Amino acid sequence: MFYRRKFYIVKEVFVENFNRLFNEINLPNQLKNGSRLVGRWMLDAKENNVEVFAIWEYDSYEDYVRIESNIRCDQEHVARVKNWYDEHGGKEYVQQTFFVEVKNEALSCTVNIG
């Protein structure tokens, strides 16, 4: 198995919009392409920010790469994401104004079960 954590620190005033992007646009497309969501959580961070992170599961790293490639090649999905950004001032504006930090991290298991 391969696990990844997608991590964001987002300005509190933008969290509702950001969660809508995830629930209405990104999540359905991830699931359609074979990603498995373990869970998505948020918690208060410092300075009116919110930490939002999701844990995703894949059969292998190669499956993750294939799925992400399929998502990036899905022109309808790309257009939906672009439209969402445009509705909020454009991608560069949103990223510079509302995203404090973004990380996409591979997770390593520390438990030997079996």
Per-residue pLDDT of the chain (114 residues; tens, 9 = 90+): 999 999 999 999 999 999 999 999 999 999 999 999 999 999 999 999 999 999 999 999 999 999 999 999 999 999 999 999 999 999 999 999 999 999 999 999 898 876
- What is the per-residue pLDDT for 109? 87
CA separation for the pair 69, 77 (Å, rounded): 12
- Spatial strand order of the sheet with 99-107 comes to 36-44, 49-58, 2-11, 99-107
Q: Is residue 113 part of a domain?
A: no
Q: What is the CATH number of the domain that holds 55?
A: 3.30.70.100
Whether 28 maps to a domain, the answer reads yes
Number of domains in the chain: 1
Identify the pLDDT of residue 112. 82
- Token pair in block for residue 52: 């939002």
How many CB atoms neighbour CB 81 within 10 A? 17
Q: Could you tell me if residue 32 is inside a domain?
A: yes
Within a domain: residue 112?
no
In a domain, 44, yes or no: yes
What is the spatial distance between Cα 4 and Cα 8, in angstroms, rounded to a whole number?
A: 13
Domain that holds residue 66: 2-107
Asked whether residue 82 is domain-assigned, the answer is yes
Asked whether residue 64 is assigned to any structural domain, the reply reads yes
